[in-house]
């Protein structure tokens, strides 16, 4: 589609497991990303949510072409990213940037803030009007004092350091920014300030975001669409209202049941998932979530549910199969809107 700036098609990344010191041989593989497909539209924010170890950060590296896939494709404006030459990939990096998770380790402590924000210009060439002027402009855009260009990262708070990272990502005026858990290391009040900043920058510069987080509550107010990831696969994807008001996959329902609600009268019973997350080296057959799912039946062990649009039925629907809410892609044989255990 014309408004799709990024297309991900059946993306797979498996890391080999080897044994031996001198003569190494492969004994297995870690299926970090295992068949992920989605599209990012211009000017939208796609929230990518899941537990630690589900493959979110590996997916982010694939989107940035920092890792090469086992199979599948990432297309930027209909260009296959992994088919580009080194020179073409260098030009692409001007348009796709990244904000890293930890503002305490992602900034070089030996470089001044001015050098950190101006580093993209040193690599790709100075902007019109000069590097120093542009660096000061960027600091002001993200809410920092431009007179602090000669300070070092340790002289700033965590939230301010993340603003420095955002300024660095904005330097080359990208179209897409991949945000890899950019607020997880920050206090709750600071998280809100940084997310508000990202929303304002999106409106001002027409940015598209892939916003990665492990908490559904964090991405609710910044994401236009949300994709829920479990053990290397997307199990549900839809717009903000569909995911939060009409979740159809049991994993999404469990995550949402744990989100704090300020109104005590609206609090439900949290769904406690039993067992540990299976190993990505040997995921369960069929549905990967079935070992922790209260809805699992025999078919879940033998047939993998496809990520497809399913008619979402509420808990009070009768035999007529009435559909409530909006239907959206979900990878569950028994998708419905029921959020309590049967």
CATH label of the domain that carries residue 170: 3.40.50.300
Cβ-based burial of 182 (10 A; exposed 0-12, middle 13-18, buried ≥19):
buried
For residue 243, being part of any structural domain is answered with no
Tell me the mean pLDDT in the region 290-303: 94
235-261 in b/e form (b: 16+ CB < 10 A) is: bbbbebebbbebbbbbbbbbbbbeeee
Cβ-based burial of 220 (10 A; exposed 0-12, middle 13-18, buried ≥19):
middle
267 pLDDT above the threshold of 80: no
184 and 296: one domain? no
Range picked from 71-75, 262-266, 321-325 for highest mean pLDDT: 71-75
9 pLDDT above the threshold of 80: yes
For residue 37, being part of any structural domain is answered with yes
52 and 201: one domain? yes
pLDDT one-digit tens code per residue, 320-330:
444 444 589 99
Beta-strand pair 225-230/233-239: antiparallel
- Band the pLDDT of 225: cuts 50, 70, 90: very high
Tell me the mean pLDDT in the region 213-223: 88
**284 lies in which domain range?**
248-330
Distance between CA atoms of residues 336 and 316, nearest Å: 11
Q: What is the DSSP letter of 107?
A: S
How far is C-alpha 126 from the geometric centre of its chain's CA atoms?
31
For residue 236, being part of any structural domain is answered with no
For residue 238, being part of any structural domain is answered with no
Cα three-residue angle 170-174-180, rounded to 5 degrees: 70
- Band the pLDDT of 258: cuts 50, 70, 90: confident
Q: Which of 229, 260, 278 is the last residue of a domain?
A: 229
Residue 298: half-sphere exposure toward Cβ, Cα within 13 Å: 0
- Band the pLDDT of 189: cuts 50, 70, 90: confident
260 pLDDT above the threshold of 80: no
Q: Answer yes or no: are the C-beta atoms of 11 and 69 closer than 8 Å.
A: yes
List CB contacts of 116: < 8 A, sequence separation 6 or more. 107, 108, 153, 164, 168
For residue 336, being part of any structural domain is answered with no
How high is the pLDDT of residue 338? Answer: 56
47 and 95: one domain? yes
Domains held by the chain: number: 2
Comparing 316 with 159, which gets the higher pLDDT? 159
For residue 263, being part of any structural domain is answered with yes
pLDDT one-digit tens code per residue, 20-72:
777 788 778 999 999 999 999 999 999 999 988 899 999 999 999 999 999 99
pLDDT one-digit tens code per residue, 86-102:
999 999 999 999 999 88
84 and 200: one domain? yes
205 and 317: one domain? no
Tell me the mean pLDDT in the region 311-336: 62
Distance between CA atoms of residues 48 and 213, nearest Å: 6
How high is the pLDDT of residue 316? Answer: 46
Closest CA to 166 of 133, 190, 201, 137: 201
96 and 163: one domain? yes
- What tokens appear for 276 in the block? 């540990």
How high is the pLDDT of residue 139? Answer: 97
- Band the pLDDT of 293: cuts 50, 70, 90: very high
201 and 254: one domain? no
For residue 323, being part of any structural domain is answered with yes
Element (H, E) at 123: helix 113-124
258 and 219: one domain? no
CA distances from 58 to 139, 277, 299, 305 (A): 30, 17, 30, 23
Total-model pTM: 0.89
Indicate the length of the chain as a whole number.
Answer: 342
63 and 136: one domain? yes
- Band the pLDDT of 2: cuts 50, 70, 90: low
Lowest mean pLDDT among 7-16, 183-192, 329-338: 329-338
Q: Which of 196, 229, 262 is the last residue of a domain?
A: 229
88 and 224: one domain? yes
pLDDT one-digit tens code per residue, 120-169:
998 888 777 788 999 999 999 999 999 999 999 999 999 999 999 999 99
What's the mean per-residue pLDDT of the chain? 88
Q: Give the bridge partners for 178, in sequence order.
A: 98, 210
Other Cβ atoms less than 10 A from the Cβ of 340: the count is 11
181 and 262: one domain? no
342 pLDDT above the threshold of 50: no
How high is the pLDDT of residue 319? Answer: 38
Q: What is the DSSP letter of 104?
A: T
Tell me the mean pLDDT in the region 167-182: 95
How high is the pLDDT of residue 322? Answer: 44
How high is the pLDDT of residue 323? Answer: 43
Other Cβ atoms less than 10 A from the Cβ of 228: the count is 25
How high is the pLDDT of residue 103? Answer: 85
253 and 223: one domain? no
Q: How far apart are the first and last CA of the chain?
A: 41
Q: What is the DSSP letter of 147?
A: G
Tell me the mean pLDDT in the region 239-257: 91
For residue 241, being part of any structural domain is answered with no
């Amino acid at each position: 589609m014309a408004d799709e700036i990024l297309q991900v098609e059946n993306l797979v990344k498996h890391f080999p497991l080897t044994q031996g010191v001198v003569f190494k041989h492969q004994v297995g593989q870690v299926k970090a990303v295992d068949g992920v497909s989605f599209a990012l539209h211009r000017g939208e924010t796609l929230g990518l949510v899941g537990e630690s170890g589900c493959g979110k950060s590996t997916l982010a590296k694939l989107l940035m072409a920092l890792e090469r896939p086992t199979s599948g494709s990432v297309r930027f404006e209909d260009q296959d990213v992994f088919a580009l030459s080194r020179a073409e990939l260098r030009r692409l990096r001007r348009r796709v940037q990244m904000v890293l998770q930890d503002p305490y380790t992602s900034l070089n402590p030996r470089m001044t803030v001015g050098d950190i924000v101006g580093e993209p210009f040193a690599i790709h060439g100075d902007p019109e009007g000069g590097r120093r002027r542009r660096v000061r402009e960027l600091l002001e855009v993200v809410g920092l004092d431009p007179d602090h260009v000669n300070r070092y990262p340790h002289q700033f708070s965590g939230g301010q350091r993340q603003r420095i990272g955002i300024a660095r990502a904005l330097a080359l005026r990208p179209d897409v920014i991949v945000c890899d858990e950019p607020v997880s290391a920050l206090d709750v009040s600071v998280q809100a300030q940084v997310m508000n900043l990202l929303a304002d920058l999106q409106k001002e510069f027409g940015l598209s975001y892939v916003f990665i987080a492990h908490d559904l509550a964090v991405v609710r107010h910044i994401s236009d669409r949300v994709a829920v990831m479990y053990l290397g696969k997307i199990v549900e994807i839809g717009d903000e209202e569909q995911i939060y008001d009409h979740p159809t996959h049991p994993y999404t329902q469990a995550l949402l049941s744990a989100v704090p609600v300020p109104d005590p009268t609206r609090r439900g019973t949290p769904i406690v998932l039993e067992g540990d997350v299976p190993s990505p080296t040997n995921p369960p057959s069929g549905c990967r979530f079935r070992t922790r799912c209260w809805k699992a039946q025999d078919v879940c062990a033998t047939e993998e549910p496809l990520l497809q649009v399913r008619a979402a039925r509420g808990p009070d629907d009768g035999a007529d199969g009435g559909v409530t809410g909006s239907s959206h892609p979900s990878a569950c044989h028994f998708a419905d809107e029921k959020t309590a255990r049967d």
